[in-house]
Structure 1
Amino acid sequence: MEYEVAYALISARVKANMTQSEVAKKMNTTPSVIARLEIGKHFPSLQTIYRYALAVDKQIDLHAQP
């Protein structure tokens, strides 16, 4: 599941034609935080995913399956 979230974040950033640094600046954080989110080893909070989506101005679709 974590890797699916990471893929969704990276995909949204690439579609927005943005670098990790640009996303970090819009989220008021550091590029290293964005890199850790995109590695997929930790599940970000829904608030963080929402802030990321706002920063890249893209919809991020996540689906939960049993």
Structure 2
Amino acid sequence: MAKNLKITLHHGIVNRTPAQRATVKTLGLNKIGKTVVREDTPANRGLVNAVRHLVTVEEVD
């Protein structure tokens, strides 16, 4: 079974660069505290890495 990533937005996107805002939106996050589950792929890991200071990540099955 493929691993998944549980991604939670913990900091707001006000005063962030347009690229960081777009990355958060691409991940499907729009409010502080919102959590999404995404497949663990290199592309998703790259998106998370770009905004790692705004989100927390857990690996789930």
TM band (smaller chain): 0.3 to 0.5
Q: Which has the higher contact order (CA 8 A, sep 6+)?
A: 2
- TM superposition score normalised by structure 1: 0.41
Q: TM-score, normalised by structure 2?
A: 0.43
Structure with the bigger percentage of strand:
2
